[in-house]
Amino acid sequence: MIFRLDELLDGKKPVLASKSPRRHELLRLIFDDFDVDPALGEEVIPECEDIKDVPRLLAVQKCREVSARHPDRLVIGCDTVVEVNGEILGKPADAADAARMLRMLSGSVHSVISGVCLRLGDRENSFRQETLVTFRQLSEADIAAYIATGEPMDKAGAYGIQEKGCLLAESISGDFFNVVGLPVGRLAKEIERFLGGENFDIR
């Protein structure tokens, strides 16, 4: 029962391997209480045949690091990226980089892909979730004004859909919360299956 997942944890709080305040808020929709222990290791973007699998593999990296510190607890790792025209957009390095990313997204459709990893002891499963976002055509003034808000600097793809960045989007196809940073509905379902001993497809 996805509304009572806490009961499947034998009194041991889950651990979120992320410092993102947005993910903290969203995970509270699933668990009443949990601990936060962000991964500290350097993020290494893996080589893979399918570029859309990058966030899942990054989530696995984070989850394994944190799980080593909490081997008897459920650890949840997550990573979110924006993919457009075969290029992964992470967090911008500076304002110029944010402007470059927003120009790429302007007037086009892009993918927001979250990778999630669940680990408990030696058991591990991971999956990815994709949402398509269409941006309206942005002027240089739009881009400069949005960057001036400061929002783009800590977000993949240089925008936050849950804040003023929603004004840049024309439409969303798929899970809105996935664009925020955590596919809550799918995550709850996969946690229930994982704690019940099932495996699941990474797609």
Give this prediction's pTM: 0.89
At position 173, the amino acid (one-letter code) is S
**50, 53, 79, 94: the active-site residue:** 79
Spell out the per-residue pLDDT of the chain, length 203, in tens: 567 787 878 889 999 999 999 999 999 999 989 999 999 876 777 777 788 999 999 999 999 999 999 999 999 999 999 999 999 998 899 999 999 999 999 999 999 999 999 999 999 999 999 999 999 999 999 999 999 999 999 898 999 999 999 999 999 999 999 999 999 999 999 999 999 876 655 55
Pick from 34, 30, 32, 43: which is nearest to 14 by CA?
A: 34
In a 13 Å sphere around the CA of 170, the CA atoms on its Cβ side amount to: 11
Answer yes or no: 122 catalytic.
Answer: no
The CATH number of domain 2-195 is 3.40.50.300? no
Helix (H/G/I), strand (E/B), else coil: 8: helix
With a CB cutoff of 8 Å and minimum separation 6, the contacts of 71 are 121
Each domain of the chain, given as residue ranges in start order, spans 2-195
